[in-house]
Chain A
Amino acid sequence: MNLTLRIWRQPGPDAPGALTTYQVGGISPEMSFLEMLDTLNEELILRGEEPVAFDHDCREGICGACGMVINGRAHGPERTTTCQLHMRHFSDGDTIDVEPWRAAAFPVVRDLVVDRSAFDRVIGSGGYITAPTGSAPEAHATPVPKETADLAFEHAECIGCGACVAACPNGSAMLFTAAKVVHLNLLPQGAPERGSRVRGMVAAMDAEGFGGCTNTGECATACPKGIPLSGISVLNREYLRSLR
C-alpha cells in the first residue's frame, strides 16, 4: 500500500504547528497504524529528518498510552486503540489526516504527543480506595452481587486513553470520570467514600478546564473499551446523591 499522510508536526508545546504531508510506501494490510508510522519514521531518520513523535507502550490495546485522531476520529475508523487499528481498514492511495487529541486540558507536548496528566489529577482527587494495602484479601470475604460486579467491571475497563475527551465536541471528560466513579462507587469497598469521591473528582475535572457534557454521545462511540454512555447518568446520580 502507498499512502499520503498529513500529520500534525509541532516541535514543542509553545511552537506553532502545521499539518505536513508525507508519502509512505511498502505498507502491508497486516501492519498496525503505529507500525505504519514506525515505517515512516525509519525513512525520516534515514533522510536525516526528525521522526514523528507519538505515544505508545503495550501495543496490545490494554495500556491506553497510544492515541491520535485519524481522519477526524479518535483512534481512527474502528472501535479500538490506535495500536490495534490495522492498515487493512484503509485502501491503497488513501490520504490520511493524523492529529493529536485536541483539548485545552491536554496540551500538545510535541507532534502527536499530548500531556494527559490532567487525568492523573482527576484520579488523585478520589479515584481510589483509602484502605491499608497488604496482601490481597480473600475473594469471597466481601460478597458482591453478580449484576453489580458486571457493571463495575464494565466501567473498570477504562484505560484512560483520552479518546472520549478527543471525540467530544465540547472537550468534556465526563465519560472518563464516570467510568472511574461508577466502577468504585458500585462496589462495597468503594462505598464508604462514594460521596467525597464523586465531589472531588468532578471538582478536579472542572478545574482542569474540561468542557461540560451535552450528551452528544461521541465519547461512548469513540471509546475503545465500550464504556457505556449511561455511565454519565450514574455519575450525575451519584453527584446529586452526594449533595443530599
Chain B
Amino acid sequence: MAVSGVIMLLYLVGHLLGNLKVFFGPDELNGYAAWLRTVGEPFLRHGWFVWLARVVLLASVLAHGTAAYQLSRRDRAARPQGYAHRRRQSGYATRTMRWGGVILALFVVWHLLDLTTLTVNPRAEADHPYQNLVASFSTWYGGGIYIAAMLALGLHIRHGFWSAAQTLGVNNPRRDRALKAAANLLALVLTLGFISIPVAVMTGVVR
C-alpha cells in the first residue's frame, strides 16, 4: 500500500506541475504534452516514456487496489462480531480511505476516457490537450466530477501520506507532528493546484 501509494503521489506532483502550464496558454501545454513523448530519445523511441509511465502507474494502481482488498478482508475477518454500541471512530479522512479509494479509482477511469482516449470528451481533438481540457471543464459535469474527485484525493493523501510513513518505518515520536503537517500541506497543495484548473476554465480565466 505504502510503496505503490508513494509512487502515485510522486506522479501526482509531476502531473500537477505539468498541468499548471495551462495558465500560460495553449502553446505551452500542447508543447509540453508533445515534449513528454520525446523524453529519453534517442535511447527510448518516440512515445515510449509515456507508455513506460503508464505501465508503472497501472501496476501501482493494481498493487494498491489488491493490497487494499486483501487488507480489508483480513480486517473484517478479525472482528466477526461488532459492537452493539457504535460510535464514530478516527478522523473523516481516515474513515473514508476505503470508499474514497473506490471513488478515486472510478475517477481515474473517467479521467482517461475524458482526456486520454477522448471517448467522452465533447471536443475530442487528438494532440490538442489544451483545447480538450477547456472543452471538458466547460461542461458542468466535467468540472464537477473533477473537483469532487480532487477533494476526495486531498482527504486520501491527508491520511495516506502519513500512514505510508508509518508503514515504511520512517516515523518516530519526534517526527510525528512534522509528518502530519507535511501530509496536510501536500494534500492541500495538490487539491488546490488541481482544482484551480477547472475553476479557471469555469470562470473564464482559461479559455
Residues on A facing B (Cβ under 8 Å): 6, 8, 19, 69, 71-73, 97, 99, 102-105, 151, 169-172, 209-218, 228-230, 232-241
Q: Closest CB-CB distance, B171 to chain A, in whole Å?
A: 4
Contact partners of A73 in chain B: CB under 8 A: 87
Q: Are A216 and B79 in contact (CB under 8 A)?
A: no
Most chain A C-beta atoms within 10 Å of own C-beta, residue among B71, B86, B166, B175: B166
Chain B interface, >50% SS class: loop
**Residue B156 CB within 8 A of the other chain:** no
Contact partners of A228 in chain B: CB under 8 A: 173
Q: Are B74 and A211 in contact (CB under 8 A)?
A: yes
Known: A171-B75, A233-B166. A218 touches B83 (CB 8 A): no
Contact partners of B82 in chain A: CB under 8 A: 102
In the complex, identify which listed stretch (B11-19, B46-54, B89-97, B138-146) lies at the interface while the others stay far away: B89-97
Q: Are A211 and B167 in contact (CB under 8 A)?
A: no
Contact partners of B166 in chain A: CB under 8 A: 213, 215, 229-230, 232-233, 236
Q: Are A233 and B172 in contact (CB under 8 A)?
A: yes
Contact partners of A213 in chain B: CB under 8 A: 166-167
- The total of Cβ contacts below 8 Å across the A-B interface reads 107
Chain A interface, >50% SS class: mixed
Listed A/B pairs (18) with beta-carbon separation below 8 Å: A6-B84, A8-B84, A71-B85, A97-B85, A99-B83, A99-B85, A104-B79, A169-B89, A171-B78, A171-B79, A172-B75, A172-B78, A215-B94, A216-B94, A230-B175, A233-B165, A233-B166, A241-B169
**Residue B191 CB within 8 A of the other chain:** no
**Residue B205 CB within 8 A of the other chain:** no
Residues on B facing A (Cβ under 8 Å): 71, 74-75, 77-87, 89-90, 94, 97, 159, 162-163, 165-173, 175-176
Residue in contact with B75 in the complex, picked from A19, A211, A215, CB distance below 8 Å: A211
Q: Closest CB-CB distance, B180 to chain A, in whole Å?
A: 11
The 10 tightest CB contacts between A and B, nearest first, are A237-B169, A211-B78, A171-B78, A233-B171, A170-B75, A97-B85, A72-B87, A211-B75, A72-B85, A215-B163
Q: Closest CB-CB distance, A27 to chain B, in whole Å?
A: 20
Q: Are A233 and B170 in contact (CB under 8 A)?
A: yes
Q: Are B86 and A72 in contact (CB under 8 A)?
A: yes
Contact partners of B171 in chain A: CB under 8 A: 230, 233
Contact partners of A216 in chain B: CB under 8 A: 89-90, 94
Q: Are A212 and B75 in contact (CB under 8 A)?
A: yes
Q: Closest CB-CB distance, B204 to chain A, in whole Å?
A: 42
Q: Are A214 and B78 in contact (CB under 8 A)?
A: no
Contact partners of A212 in chain B: CB under 8 A: 71, 74-75, 78
Residue in contact with B79 in the complex, picked from A102, A217, A238, A239, CB distance below 8 Å: A102
Chain A residue, CB-CB nearest to B167: A236
Known: A212-B71, A218-B90. A103 touches B78 (CB 8 A): yes
Contact partners of A99 in chain B: CB under 8 A: 83-85
Bound Cα distance from A216 to B88, whole angstroms:
12
Bound Cα distance from A235 to B97, whole angstroms:
23
Bound Cα distance from A218 to B168, whole angstroms:
20
Q: Are B77 and A209 in contact (CB under 8 A)?
A: yes
Q: Are B163 and A214 in contact (CB under 8 A)?
A: yes
Contact partners of A241 in chain B: CB under 8 A: 169
Known: A215-B162, A215-B163, A233-B171. A105 touches B78 (CB 8 A): yes
Bound Cα distance from A97 to B84, whole angstroms:
8
Q: Closest CB-CB distance, B176 to chain A, in whole Å?
A: 5
Q: Are A236 and B168 in contact (CB under 8 A)?
A: yes
Bound Cα distance from A133 to B80, whole angstroms:
42
Q: Closest CB-CB distance, A14 to chain B, in whole Å?
A: 13
Q: Are B173 and A230 in contact (CB under 8 A)?
A: yes
Chain A residue, CB-CB nearest to B67: A212
Q: Closest CB-CB distance, B122 to chain A, in whole Å?
A: 40
Q: Closest CB-CB distance, B153 to chain A, in whole Å?
A: 18
Bound Cα distance from A76 to B154, whole angstroms:
33
Contact partners of A103 in chain B: CB under 8 A: 78-79
Bound Cα distance from A230 to B168, whole angstroms:
12
Chain A residue, CB-CB nearest to B160: A215
Contact partners of A172 in chain B: CB under 8 A: 75, 78
Q: Are B79 and A211 in contact (CB under 8 A)?
A: yes
